[in-house]
């Protein structure tokens, strides 16, 4: 067991450092996500059942990414499709920061998300920053990990009353992980 772990810890960095995906313009990924809302009084868990995203890289520095959201709520007695919507992210990559380790690319971006929750009948608009890193695995595969500090805005009175905010605003923090193919 120890030998296997040692061998993998030596081989994986060698394989990673020999490749780069930043020259590719298209990315299609899968982004599994689980949601537990802080305002949720029923303590339900939601899972994104259409966890796809697409990114177009204009060059090695800038991109636009679109992410889908169709959440299924696991809760008895009324499970079902809850939130639907999507996210748009504008990324700025910094491949020159770690030229020697080009398999690792830091990024920063701004994002906006709109969702409508069919079960609770609330609208949510989220805006914030996305700080992350892109890991390249070979010529085609990559993994992205990011944190999302931001703010939720509930635009209508019903949504504001449902989540318990008189101003319409609440804080947001998300952890985003997705893996995909670059071409």
pLDDT tens digits for range 24-59: 899 999 998 877 666 665 677 889 999 999 999 998
Domains assigned to the chain: 2-182 (2.40.160)
pTM: 0.82
Distance between CA atoms of 181 and 117, rounded to whole angstroms?
30
Task: Supply the pLDDT for residue 103.
Answer: 86
- Top-confidence residue, 180 or 35: 180
Q: How far apart are CA 34 and CA 71, in angstroms?
A: 8
Tens digits of per-residue pLDDT, 108-124?
999 999 999 999 899 99
List the structure tokens of 70. 């169709």
Task: Give residue 100's Cα distance to chain centre.
Answer: 27
Query: What tokens does 31 get?
Result: 């982004």
pLDDT of residue 20: 53
């Amino acid at each position: 067991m120890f030998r296997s772990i040692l061998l993998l810890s030596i081989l994986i960095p060698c394989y990673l450092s020999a490749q780069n995906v930043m020259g590719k313009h298209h990315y299609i990924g899968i982004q599994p996500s689980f949601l537990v809302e802080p305002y949720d009084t029923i303590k339900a868990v939601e899972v994104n059942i259409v966890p796809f995203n697409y990114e177009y890289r204009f060059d090695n520095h800038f991109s636009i990414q679109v992410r889908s959201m169709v959440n299924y709520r696991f809760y008895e007695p009324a499970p079902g499709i809850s939130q639907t919507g999507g996210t748009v992210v504008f990324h700025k990559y910094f491949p020159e920061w770690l030229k020697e380790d080009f398999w690792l690319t830091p990024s920063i971006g701004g994002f906006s998300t709109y969702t409508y929750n069919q079960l609770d009948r609330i609208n949510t608009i989220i805006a914030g920053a996305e700080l992350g890193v892109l890991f390249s695995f070979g010529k085609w595969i990559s993994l992205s990990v990011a944190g999302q500090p931001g703010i939720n805005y509930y635009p209508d009175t019903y949504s504001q009353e449902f989540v318990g905010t008189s101003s319409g605003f609440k804080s947001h923090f998300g952890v985003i992980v997705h893996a995909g193919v670059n071409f």
